[in-house]
Amino acid sequence: MRIILAALVLIFSFQSLTKADEISDFQIEGMSVGDSLLELMTEKEILDKTDQFYKSNKYAQLICLSNGLIYDYVQCAYKPDDPNKLIYDVTGVIQFDNKIEECLLKMKDIEIEITNFFKNTKKIDYGTYNHAADKTGKSKATVVAFEFDSGDNVVLYCTNWSEEITKKNYWLDELKISLSKSEFQDFLDNEAYN
């Protein structure tokens, strides 16, 4: 029930933003790309919560909100050497414990709504492929992106983690909705896991 309510709240929250032209006009749990993490937490809290998940240290991520109104948690990415700690990516996560079909159905519903709202974006359906964070090739990601003229984007993805990854890292299948600056997306595509 919580997942259905969360999806409805998410869908209706996009309705008021249909005329927005920039990624910073959109929010996830009150946070947006371009905001400063220092408005949410102290520098010490940022450092304590930071996870250097990527192979390159150009960006770092942290859970900037747990147990939000809509999402199970929200991740933010920032440049560690930036004194302002500006957010380059904000991602809302809804977990599906071994229920990837539910994740994919919810993603499809949200994709249809976003397609109707963002008529001036380029929709890119990447399909399903091996997740870069799992070198065994057993974990899969299904991805659809909506790209703005600036190159910034909204990305929807369901991740179906392998049993091994779930046991090792305690990662659950999940639906993510990301707001990303183009330079962060380039980082993910070219440097993050290489």
Number of domains, the chain: 1
Distance CA 87, CA 32 (A): 7
Q: How far apart are the first and last CA of the chain?
A: 39
Q: What is the pLDDT of residues 15-42, one digit of tens each?
A: 334 445 678 878 899 999 999 999 999 9
What lies within 8 Å, CB to CB, of 85 at 6+ separation is 36, 37, 38, 43, 46, 78
**Mean pLDDT over each residue of the chain, to the nearest integer:** 84
pLDDT for residue 14 is more than 50: no
Q: Which of 1-15, 70-84, 107-121 has the highest mean pLDDT?
A: 70-84
Write out the residue range of the structural domain in which residue 180 sits. Answer: 2-190
Q: What is the pLDDT of residues 105-152, one digit of tens each?
A: 999 998 998 888 777 889 999 999 998 888 888 999 999 999 998 899
Distance CA 164, CA 83 (A): 38
Q: What is the mean pLDDT of residues 152-165?
A: 92
